[in-house]
Amino acid sequence: MHTGNADFLNFVLALFKAMQRDNLGYVYRGRFTQEITDNILALTENKLEKEEHSSKIKKRVYSILVECLQNITRHQDDAKNDLPDSNGLFVIQKQEDKYFITTGNMVMNDNIDYIKNLIETINSLEKEELKSYYKMVLEDGSLSAKGGAGLGLIDMARKSGNKLLYQFRPVKEDSSFFYLHTIPSLEGLEGNFENKEESLNNIISIHNTLNAENILLVSNGPFNQESLMVLLGSLEGQMTGTISHKKKVFYIVVEMLQNIVKHGYAPESKALGNPGIFILGSHKGFYTITTGNYVDKNKSGELKEKLEKVNSLTQDELDNYFNKCLFDFEIDSSKKAGLGIIDLRIKSGNPISYTFSEVTDEFTFFSLQTVITTE
C-alpha cells in the first residue's frame, strides 16, 4: 500500500483533465443492479432538476436514460467472464447545453454484425420511417431472442432525434466492448458528428483508466454543498457491506468533499462551486476514496505539513492532536485545514496518500486518497 506523497496518484489529474475536456459529469462502471440503476436515475433527475429548465428536455433525457440503463441490465451477462470489461459502463455529459449519454457492455463477437446492421439501418432512416420500422419490428418479434433488444435501440434513436454513435473495442478473441453514444437533445447536431467521434474516443480512453485503476465511479465537480448531498445520497444506495462500514465510508466521503467545498480553489467563476473530482475505487479487501481539486499555491505548503504530521503520528498521538484541534476555536476563523484531515486518518485507520501537481504559478492540483479496509 502506498503512503504519503504518492506519484501513483498522478492518474487523478489526468482523469480530471479528460473529464473536464468533454465536460463529463458522472461515470459509473460496475454491475448494474436494480438499486444502482435507481440511484443513477435519481442522481440524474436531481442534476436535471437543477440544471435544466425545459421540462420537455428533462423528460426526454430521462426516458432515454431509462432505455439506456435497461439496455445494459439486459445485456450485461451476454459475455460473462472475470475481466474488468465485464462491468457495464454509464457516462453522462453536458456540452453546449446538450446532454450526451454513453453506455457500454461486453458483447460476443458473433452479435457484432447484427448490432452494426441494426444501428446503420436506424441511422439511415428518417423520422417517419423510423416510426414504421419500430412498428414492423414490434409486430414481427423475431428480430431478437432477448426480448426487444432491437426495439430499445430504435426507441433511443426516435426519442433523441439524432443518430446513434457506436464503437466496438476488442477484448478477447470472442468478445468485444460495445460503446453506444446517444444525444437526447431536441434538435439534431448536423455537421458536428466528427466532434462526437472524438468525444467517444476520449470516453474510451477514460474507460481504460477506470479498468486499470479498478474505479467504480467518478463524479466531476463543480462541488458545492448541494451537489455533495446529491452524491452522498447516491453513494448511500450503492455501498455494500455492514452498516458500520457504510457509515465509515460516509464519514470519510463527507469530510473529503467538504474539504473541496471549503478549501478548493476556483480559477474562474466560483458561481457553481469549486472544480474537482471524486473517485471511488473498489479493490479486493479495500475501497479507495480519492478526491482531486485545485488549491491556492500559498496554502499548499501548510497543507502538506499537516498531512505529513498526521501520517507520522501514532494512534495515541493522533487522538491527542484531534482533541487539541477540537477545542481550538481559532482555527475556525483562519480557514486553515482543521479537524477533517485528522479525522480521515483516524476513521480510515490508514495513512493518507496525497500528491501536488504543478498547474500554474497561482494554484496547484491536489490529490488526496484514503484507503478503507473492508471488514
Partner 1 sequence: MLEALIIESKEDTPKVVLDSINKVFQISERSLPENAIGFYEPVLEWLNQYATDPVEITIFNFSLEYFNTASAKQIAKILLILENIAKKQRVAINWYYKKEDSDMLSSGTRFSKLIDLNFSFIES
What residue ranges bind partner 1 (CB under 8 A)? 224-225, 229, 242-244, 247-248, 250-251, 254-255, 258, 261-262, 319, 322-323, 326-327, 329, 332, 338-340, 343, 347
Nearest distance, CB of residue 246 and partner 1, angstroms:
10
Answer yes or no: are the C-beta atoms of 280 and 235 closer than 8 Å: yes
For the sheet with 88-95, list strands across it: 4-5, 353-358, 363-373, 286-296, 276-283, 215-220, 24-30, 88-95, 98-108, 175-182, 165-170
Say whether 97 sits in a helix, a strand or coil: coil
97/300 Cα distance (integer angstroms):
35
Minimum Å gap between C-beta 253 and partner 1 is: 11
Closest CB to partner 1 among residues 184, 338 = 338
Between CA 244 and CA 190 the distance in angstroms is 52
- Among residues 121, 103, 31, the alpha carbon closest in space to that of 66 is found at 103
At closest approach, how far in Å is the CB of 205 from partner 1?
34
Q: Residue 374 Cβ, how far from partner 1 at the closest point, in Å?
A: 16
DSSP 27: E
CB of 281 to partner 1, least distance (A): 22
**Dihedral angle computed from the Cα positions of residues 271, 358, 203 and 65, in that order, rounded to the nearest 10 degrees:** -20
Smallest separation, CB 250 to partner 1 (Å): 7
Task: Identify which of residues 130 and 252 has a Cβ nearer to partner 1 in the complex.
Answer: 252
CA angle 111, 112, 115 (to 5 degrees): 90
Residue 133 or 322 with smaller CB distance to partner 1: 322
3-state DSSP assignment of residue 289 = strand
Which residue number, 59 or 324, has a Cβ lying nearer to partner 1? 324
291 three-class SS: strand
* Residue whose C-alpha is closest to residue 102's, from 24, 187, 216: 24
Q: Which one-letter amino acid corresponds to residue 28?
A: Y
Of 19 and 325, CB closest to partner 1: 325
d(CA 179, CA 196): 13
Q: In DSSP terms, which residues pair with 177 in a beta bridge?
A: 106, 169
CB of 340 to partner 1, least distance (A): 5
Nearer to partner 1, 125 or 339 (CB): 339
Beta bridge partners of 163: none
Retrieve residue 375's grid coordinates.
471488514
Q: For the CB of residue 259, give the shortest distance to partner 1 in the complex, in Å.
A: 10
**With respect to partner 1, which residue has the nearer C-beta, 75 or 263?**
263
The residue (of 33 and 258) whose beta carbon lies closer to partner 1 is 258
